[in-house]
Homo-oligomer: A and B are copies of this chain.
């Protein structure tokens, strides 16, 4: 993590130590909300302090009654201009909550709205630990150090310094798989994504942003725990699924989905986190590193299918084209 990001997080943590937090709220929209979902899962499992994640306008229009001066509200917007997220941050401050935002744009409306803004970098050549997810985990582990205190969060912080090397290695390992997947699936009108636990956010943004928004491919992110309670009846030999198989606590849920789906669909792509080479990583950090790596491989798959379909990931027909 760059010195700049570290200092911004340290400033926020110094303030956090002075507060009594009885509620953590994550709120953002779309892909940014999806990124924050990992935080909700992690805190839920590791903190007794309750923690929620909201799409920003639900937070704004149906504001939770628990929001108060003892709340910590974490928001995120890449451009820092997402109106709903800026509004949510302002609302949180009106209630006296401590606000931390993540953004790629210093000086943006979100940056100005939050009490403790934290910057993340962006671009192909940036170290993975300085991108949005790397910075988010850095923030989360620091918050856990303050609120929970376990030494394992220091270990996690240190292990994330190895993220970039792992990203490069796994990208290379999955390059051909991703390209083949793109070739094979390019005619599909719908692709379902499935996952659980800390990976739900990743499969949510894969469905909503990569497929629906950027490829105009129908999609739906199905929680592995819900698959057998409705959605699985859609399974057929020609129905494509991407399953992220966790190495975390919810692996059994994903395994059940794989065992069933491979019998009835010829188009199941399993991204098994056990295939990532995480030998150099302390066991307490593996699940979180793996969650980021899954996103990297999915991005490769999406780039491959976009190329095969001649549909650039930069194309939009409504977003940026009109007011709505």
Contacts and interface: CB of A to CB of B under 8 A. Distances in A.
Interface of A: 23, 29-31, 33, 41, 44-50, 52, 55-58, 61-66, 68, 82, 84, 189-190, 196-197, 205, 207-209, 212-214, 216, 218-226, 228-236, 248-250, 252-253, 256, 259-260, 264, 316-319, 324
Contact of A233 (B58, B250, B317): B317
Contacts of A62: 41, 44-45, 197, 248-250
B29 A50 contact: no
A33 B197 contact: no
A225 B29 contact: yes
A221 B62 CA distance: 19
A205 to B, nearest CB: 8
Contact of A58 (B209, B253, B259): B253
B216 A234 contact: yes
B65 A226 contact: no
Contacts of A221: 220
B253 A57 contact: yes
A62 B42 CA distance: 10
26 contacts: A29-B226, A29-B229, A30-B229, A30-B230, A41-B62, A44-B52, A44-B62, A44-B65, A45-B62, A46-B65, A48-B65, A57-B224, A57-B225, A57-B250, A58-B225, A61-B252, A62-B197, A62-B250, A207-B220, A208-B226, A208-B230, A212-B231, A213-B230, A216-B236, A233-B316, A235-B318
B84 A65 contact: no
A230 B31 CA distance: 8
Contacts of A61: 197, 249-250, 252-253
Given A29-B225, A62-B249, A250-B58, A218 B230 contact: no
Nearest to A50: B50
Contact of A318 (B68, B250, B259, B264): B264
A208 B189 contact: no
Contacts of A82: 229
A73 B101 CA distance: 33
B319 A233 contact: yes
Given A65-B44, A248-B62, A33 B264 contact: no
A45 B31 contact: no
B218 A218 contact: yes
Contacts of A189: 189-190
Contacts of A224: 57
Contacts of A222: 208
A213 B225 contact: no
A45 to B, nearest CB: 5
A64 B52 contact: no
Nearest to A221: B220
Given A52-B50, A58-B223, A218-B220, A230 B212 contact: yes
